[in-house]
Amino acid sequence: MSDARDGRVGGDASDVSAGSSSEDRLVGRRIDRREDAELLTGRATYTDDLSADAAHLAFVRSPVGHGRIESIDASEAEGMGDVLGVYEWDDIDASPSPGVLPIRTESLDCEVPGHPVLARDRIRYEGQPVAAVVAEDRYVARDAVEAVDVRYETRPAVVDPAEATEAGAPTLYDGVPNNVALDAELGDEAATEEAFAAADRVVELELVNNRLIASALEPRAALARYDADRGQFTVEMTSQSPHGHRRKLSETLGVDEGRVRVVVPRVGGGFGHKGHHHPGEAMAAWCARELYRPVKWTATRSENYREGAHARDHRTSAELAVDDDGSVRGLRVDTRAAVGGYGLGGGASMPAWYGRLLSSQYRIPAIHCRTRAVFTNTAPVHSYRGAGRPEAIYVTERLMDVVADELGIDPVELRRRNLVGPEEFPYETAVGASYDSGDYETALDEALDAIGYDEARDRAGEPADDGRYRGVGVACFTESTGGGFERGVVRVRPDGSVVVFAGTHSHGQGHETTYAQLVADELGVPYDDVEVVEGDTDDTPDGTGTFGSRSTITGGSAVVESARDVLREARSVAAGRLGVDAADVVSEAGAFRVVGRPERSVSFAAVARAAVESEEGEARSENGSDADGDAAVAFEASTRYEPDGTAYAFGTHAARVAVDAETGAVEVERYVAVDDCGERVNPTIVEGQVHGGVAQGIGQARSEGAAYGDDGTLLTDSMLSYALPRATSVPDIETRATVTPSPRNPIGVKGIGEAGTIAAPPTVVNAVVDALSPLGIRHVDMPLTEENVLDAIRETDGA
């Protein structure tokens, strides 16, 4: 392990070429993101910027949370000028397309029919699309939506996942009693019972993990075309997973995957929900075929909030069994996780993502977790930055603080006594996670040092001079990153320039910069000579996408492996030119040299040129054709890479807060993040990822929360009512890093994209509860709004 609390070690890389010596390496350097000039000056093209003489799609959406459609009268809308078509389920049913977004029933306990792109007759959440209107312009389309008269029969709704499992609650599906889509267990129940029986005490905690809505600045959008002669769809859309969307669109449209090309321009944030399959994009494609016209759809903010997948929404009963000396013996967790009206899954409710992380950084000999995924009359729940891992870490890290309080042990000391030690890796947890590498205590100590922990704890328990209570909170975490496969193609043109194609899709992460750093290093070519292309399913034949903090591990390793293959081939061409064996040639700073004879060398570009001029190269160039239409390819390699197991990132975050007990106002005064994501390709990008994630995590802790009325009406359907964090609610975020490489991929990396959303909620809640502990407060559920904090104070006063 090496401490990487470094300062800035480099800036712009425009005149940098990599070499084999470690000080020349691009990986590890703070190179400015090459995509930023375009993004920050507004020159970037997003889906809604594309026009293509498109007609415009708009939806009639259900105002009812649970019910049935009694009738639809579209005659007035159909008669409006410039309206090209009004469609309802019967039109889909009569078409060659199934028109259903498949639900991954293989991971559920029940058979449910999938999410129809337009409601069949049953309505299961407010905002569900009921009819679609296509018109010459988007304003006419929206006016026509108003003219469609739909009658509904309303039914009692259920929006809370705990209430939904109670006897007598309204049910969403026939044959799914108590709305339980999945009832899954993880860990050894008998061993956990034994551990509980043997422990000195058991501490219980009831927790709500609040429902969140992804609020990417760019709402979801699609522009679909249909080429009737070729039977080919082209869908330009907002996506984190072009190949995933190609597969899902082809299923909904009822065509082979090869008949769908997905092209993704710049994406203005996704946070998980743009990896998910929604009705809007599929309907745009369906309408394009129906009308033989390009059809465009851009969600309004409120549509995005009502139909776009939501996140979290757990109700959990948790118990920790401990001895009086603070040794943790067992953990028992029972969670009801909302999946919304259509059970679309995603990490939050899936035991493999949620329960698997419950051990956090601790040696917990026995864990048992029951997770029930529960249908509710709410928007579908899917992955949102963290996807199951924030929910798990929140349970364990809140429990650690509550237990510490009951035992009268400092919360950091309690954690320290139970940490997995650096010599224990690979470490198998009681819930089946295999941690690859880690040095948890060093990261913890860094965080304590940075936040000034001892000084912060040393307070009188009385409000300070400004009348506010002060508190400090710490949370340790692990995070499963990587998973699945990715394909990376590295192509060298005859002039020695390089194009990298990857199946991932950056929507704010900066892959164009980091993949170029990785490949330039491997090939020893200038950074500026490496171009990175993502987001077109025709360019990269296969891929999985960007989510789960997996791109660097999987996509990065795939492009690195391809670069290594290319380098091997290039070295053998260089050896031919130099008249020596390939074993006697080394690659160094953009050239190949004969070992021991540095004056005998040939440049990488000359080798690329020689490759196309050779017989073998000519054959290669005839077969190859690159994305620019330039047929000449000097070298090309394609790798399908699957990591050798999961890489577990980790860290400790700490915060100091001030709480006004008169008003309930919480201020996060300082925030420190110590993260370990193995080797850091670009420390500036890593820190940017941490900043963004922490801001979102503070948002969850302080203010965000999707609220539904009892009838299933979304009350927070705009940015006025859904309280995102603002600049004033997020302090300067201080970052530090430790570096513990992962042995499970060739570049030693772990993911970083979600760490902030995992660590920040328990860090902030722990700090606020610490601040309010003189008032006898043991727990406050998120979000820590003034109202919730005051309620907690009043309840304790009452007691």
Binding site for ligand MCN (CB under 6 A): 216, 269-272, 385, 507-511, 514, 546-552, 677-682, 685-686, 689, 692, 749-754
Whichever of 411 and 741 has its CB closer to ligand MCN, that residue is 741
Whichever of 310 and 315 has its CB closer to ligand MCN, that residue is 310
- DSSP-assigned letter for residue 2: E
CB of 676 to ligand MCN, least distance (A): 9
Cβ atoms within 10 Å of 32's Cβ, excluding its own: 17
Whichever of 401 and 521 has its CB closer to ligand MCN, that residue is 521
The pair of structure tokens assigned to 222 is: 């699609």
SS3 string of 64-119?
CCCEEEEEEECHHHHCCCCEEEEECHHHHHCCCCCCEECCCHHHCCCCCCCEECCC
Whichever of 242 and 411 has its CB closer to ligand MCN, that residue is 242
CB of 490 to ligand MCN, least distance (A): 16
Contact 764, 652 (CB under 8 A): no
CB of 702 to ligand MCN, least distance (A): 20
CB of 319 to ligand MCN, least distance (A): 30
Reported as half-sphere exposure (CB side, CA atoms, 13 A), residue 115 has a value of: 31
Three-class DSSP category at 216: coil
Whichever of 370 and 550 has its CB closer to ligand MCN, that residue is 550
Distance in angstroms (rounded) separating the CA atoms of residues 184 and 339:
14
CB of 668 to ligand MCN, least distance (A): 21
Contact 123, 152 (CB under 8 A): yes
CB of 509 to ligand MCN, least distance (A): 4
Contact 458, 452 (CB under 8 A): no
Whichever of 361 and 689 has its CB closer to ligand MCN, that residue is 689
Whichever of 441 and 679 has its CB closer to ligand MCN, that residue is 679
CB of 569 to ligand MCN, least distance (A): 26
- DSSP-assigned letter for residue 609: H
Distance in angstroms (rounded) separating the CA atoms of residues 490 and 531:
10
Distance in angstroms (rounded) separating the CA atoms of residues 700 and 761:
6
Whichever of 311 and 633 has its CB closer to ligand MCN, that residue is 311
Beta bridge partners of 58: 133
Give just the sign of the alpha carbon dihedral 543, 549, 554, 557.
positive
Whichever of 150 and 502 has its CB closer to ligand MCN, that residue is 502
Helix (H) or strand (E) holding 411: helix 411-418
CB of 272 to ligand MCN, least distance (A): 4
Contact 308, 297 (CB under 8 A): no
Give just the sign of the alpha carbon dihedral 129, 133, 139, 145.
negative
Whichever of 682 and 700 has its CB closer to ligand MCN, that residue is 682
CB of 654 to ligand MCN, least distance (A): 22
Nearest C-alpha neighbor of 83 from the set 297, 291, 222: 291
Distance (Å) of CA 618 to CA 414, 499, 596, 623: 67, 19, 32, 9
CB of 512 to ligand MCN, least distance (A): 9
Whichever of 108 and 686 has its CB closer to ligand MCN, that residue is 686
Distance in angstroms (rounded) separating the CA atoms of residues 275 and 279:
13
CB of 185 to ligand MCN, least distance (A): 27
Whichever of 509 and 713 has its CB closer to ligand MCN, that residue is 509
Whichever of 278 and 293 has its CB closer to ligand MCN, that residue is 278
CB of 215 to ligand MCN, least distance (A): 10
Distance in angstroms (rounded) separating the CA atoms of residues 691 and 694:
5
Reported as half-sphere exposure (CB side, CA atoms, 13 A), residue 142 has a value of: 8
Distance in angstroms (rounded) separating the CA atoms of residues 284 and 505:
21
Whichever of 493 and 680 has its CB closer to ligand MCN, that residue is 680
Whichever of 294 and 545 has its CB closer to ligand MCN, that residue is 545
What values do phi and psi take at 593, rounded to 5?
-125, 150
CB of 652 to ligand MCN, least distance (A): 17
H-only helix segments in 628-712: 683-702
Distance in angstroms (rounded) separating the CA atoms of residues 95 and 684:
51
Contact 758, 389 (CB under 8 A): yes
- DSSP-assigned letter for residue 192: H
Residue 299, amino acid: A
Contact 559, 502 (CB under 8 A): yes
CB of 482 to ligand MCN, least distance (A): 8
CB of 508 to ligand MCN, least distance (A): 2
Residue 765, amino acid: V
**In degrees, to the nearest 5, what angle opens at C-alpha 491 toward C-alphas 490 and 496?**
120
Distance in angstroms (rounded) separating the CA atoms of residues 589 and 603:
9
